[in-house]
Amino acid sequence: AEVRMSDEIARMVEEGKYVYCIIKTPRPRDFGAIGIGEGTARVYTVHFGELAAVVSDTPIRIYDPTRENVLAHEFVNETVMREHTVIPMSFGTLFRTEEDIVELLKSTYQAFDDVLQKMRDKIEFGLKVLWDRERVIARLEQENDEIRRLKDEINRSGQGSTYFARMQLGRMVEGALEEAGNAYVRDIHEALKPAAVASRSNKPIGDRMIMNAAFLVDRERERDFDELVKAVSHKYDDLLTFKYTGPWPPYNFVNIKLKLEKASS
């Protein structure tokens, strides 16, 4: 009875395919046992025409975006990206069968082919810029005549300084901070523009971040782009912290939204 039960459970755990990305290759590829999930699933290609989906076998399940799972998904895309232009799929994309994947490639062949053509040999870099707010304020107080004059006036008045004057100073500093932040971001974008094909600004996270951007770069210009990032970070090294990551697949520049029909039971 025990054996029969476990056979039944095994049949109930339905196998599916996890899809990482789409590439263009006429030949079947095997990227090794690096797939998502427990153990190490083999990552291989499923083909239609010259397009291929990079997949691994998995039970049909919801993959939670834990650090481990997200890193496994990204690691496969980064591995494939070393040799191919990739269209990354969003995390947790599962199909029931190989036939379903072939059907997807067939029905969206032209769209995928066009995107692969546009993204050919292009890679993405992420740049987050954080500031030291107190240092920026100190710099503004040195350089902005109006702020310096009002601050001196309040300091001279000591306790007698008016509530209005202090409020005015606060507003003036906030306005100058916003202007400075916008100017830094514009300057950084201008400095990096010569080596980038495109850029995309995402919403900054938290109070210290003033810039959260992604840059699309031709593979052959990678070193040029690195040098420009180094130069602009050096220019602001006493005020700003640069967090530079990549190369990545073009996550921010390719948006593939799949409308998957609910599987008929």
> Taken in order 241, 247, 251, 254, is the CA torsion positive or negative?
positive
- 99, two tokens: 């036939």
Rounded Cα–Cα distance for residues 217 and 252 (Å): 12
Total count of residues recorded for the chain:
265
pLDDT at 162: 74
Quote the DSSP letter at residue 248. Answer: E
One digit per residue, the tens of pLDDT, for the chain of length 265 reads 444 445 444 445 578 999 999 999 999 999 999 999 876 799 999 999 999 999 999 998 889 999 999 999 999 999 999 999 999 998 999 999 999 999 999 999 999 999 999 999 999 999 999 998 888 888 877 777 677 677 766 666 665 567 777 777 778 777 888 888 999 999 999 999 999 999 999 999 998 999 999 999 999 999 999 999 999 999 998 889 999 999 999 999 986 655 544 443 3
> Taken in order 178, 184, 186, 188, is the CA torsion positive or negative?
negative
pLDDT at 178: 87
Q: Would you say 156 and 264 are in contact if contact means Cβ atoms under 8 Å apart?
A: no
On the 0-12 / 13-18 / 19+ scale of CB atoms within 10 A, 78 is middle
Rounded Cα–Cα distance for residues 27 and 135 (Å): 56
Quote the DSSP letter at residue 261. Answer: P
Q: Name the pTM for this structure.
A: 0.80
pLDDT at 258: 57
Rounded Cα–Cα distance for residues 166 and 161 (Å): 7
Sequence-distant (≥ 6) Cβ neighbours of residue 58 within 8 angstroms? 15, 16, 17, 18, 35, 36, 37, 41, 94
Strand partners, 48: 51
- Of 178, 171, 80, nearest in space to 136 by CA: 178
Vertex 101: Cα angle to 264 and 120 (nearest 5): 145
3-state SS string for 152-213 = HHHHHHHHHCCHHHHHHHHHHHHHHHHHHHHHHHHHHHHHHHHHCCEEEEECCCCCCEEEEE
pLDDT at 228: 98
